[in-house]
Amino acid sequence: MKRRIGILTSGGDCPGLNAAIRGVTRAAYEMFDAEIVGIHDGYRGLIEGDYQAMKRSDFSGILTLGGTILGTARTPFRDMRKIGEDKVDKVAAMKKTYKDLKLDCLVTLGGNGTHKTANLLSQEGLNVIGLPKTIDNDIYGTDFTFGFHTALDIATDVIDRCHTTAASHGRCIVVEIMGNKAGWLTLYSGVAGGADAILIPEIPYDIKKVAKVVESRAKSNKGFTILAVAEGAMDKEEAKMKKKEREAKRAAEHFSASAYVAQQLRELVGVEARNVVPGHIQRGGSPNAYDRVLSTQFGVHAAELIRDGVFGVTVALKGNEITHNKLADIAGVPKLVPEDDRMVKTAKNMGIIFGDED
C-alpha cells in the first residue's frame, strides 16, 4: 500500500534535524511504498503551499549535515487561529494543502510550539506524528530531545575554554548558555564544564550569595570563578515581576542575563568579571554521535507508526526504549528543571551553588 508522507521542520534549527528526516524516509522506503513531500520553512510552507516532491537521492549524505534541508521558520502557535491583514485562515489553509497533496500523514519536527500546532492539526482530523527536537530538552514526556547532546558538547567546550583564560588572568567569567525558560542545557554543561555556580530560570538566585562565593574564590589561591548562566536566569527580585516588566527592565539597561550578573559582581565584589555569549554557535554544525543515533531511532519509529496507522502522537525516549506519547498529553506542557532534580542535587553535593542556598 502506498503512503504519501509530508515532512516539515519548524521553529529553531538544531543538530540532528537532517538525521531524523533521513531516518523517517529511509525506513519508510524500506518498509512500504512511500512518496515523500518536503514542505519548506515549517508551517509557513504548509499554509502557503510551498513544497516539493522528494526523491530517495535527496536524503543521501545528510546524516552529518547540520541545519535542515527543508528550511525552517517560526510560526507562533498563538497566531495560528488569528486572521491577520492578509485575511488568511491559517488552519484552513494548512488543512487544504494537506488534502490537496493527498497526504496520508504529516511528520512535524520541532519543539514546544511545533507540537502545539501539530496537536491542533491532529484535533482538526489530520494524521500527524511529531518528532521532538530542541537543544533546550524541554519537551514533556521524553528523557531527551535530539539536538540537546550536541549543544551540550558545544556549551561544555565553551566553558572549558573559558576556564583556561579565567585561570590565567584570575578573572570571573560568566558564560551565557541558551535556555530562556528551561535550564537543562545550562545545568548539564555547568556540571560537565566544572562551573562554580549555575544559574537557571527555575531557581531564582540571590546575587549576594553568588558574590560571596566569587569573593571567597578571589581571595583563595584559585583566584578565578566560572559561572554558567542560562539566558533566562533571573534574580529573586526579577522573579517577582511579570515577564513583560522583566524584559523591559533588561532592555532599558541593555543587559543580557550574563552581562547583568557580571555587572552585579563587579559592583559587589570588585572582581574583573567578563561575560561570554556563545549564542547560536550552540545550535549550529554537525550533530554528535549520540544525536545522530537518537535522531535516526526517532525517525525510524515514526516510519513504524506510519506503517501501523498510529497517529496523533509524538516519538519519545523513555529509559532505553523508543516509544511515543499522545500529542494531546504533551502539547503545551513544558518540561522544566525541578528544584529537587537529581542533577541539581549532584551539583549541590559537589559544592556548585545556584544562588538559592540558605
Q: Report yes or no: 61 and 55 within 8 Å, Cβ to Cβ.
A: no
206 classed as catalytic: no
User: All 3 cell numbers of residue 9?
Assistant: 521542520
Q: Report yes or no: 194 and 230 within 8 Å, Cβ to Cβ.
A: no
- Beta-carbon contacts of 274 under 8 Å, excluding residues fewer than 6 positions away, are 171, 172, 173, 174, 262
How far apart are alpha carbons 100 and 283 in whole angstroms?
Answer: 34
Residue of 13, 41, 136, 138 with catalytic role: 136
Beta bridge partners of 9: 109
User: All 3 cell numbers of residue 249?
Assistant: 527592565
- Which has the closest alpha carbon to 306: 57, 69, 25, 56? 25
Cα four-point dihedral sign 181, 206, 219, 262: positive
Q: Report yes or no: 142 and 132 within 8 Å, Cβ to Cβ.
A: yes
Catalytic residues: 136
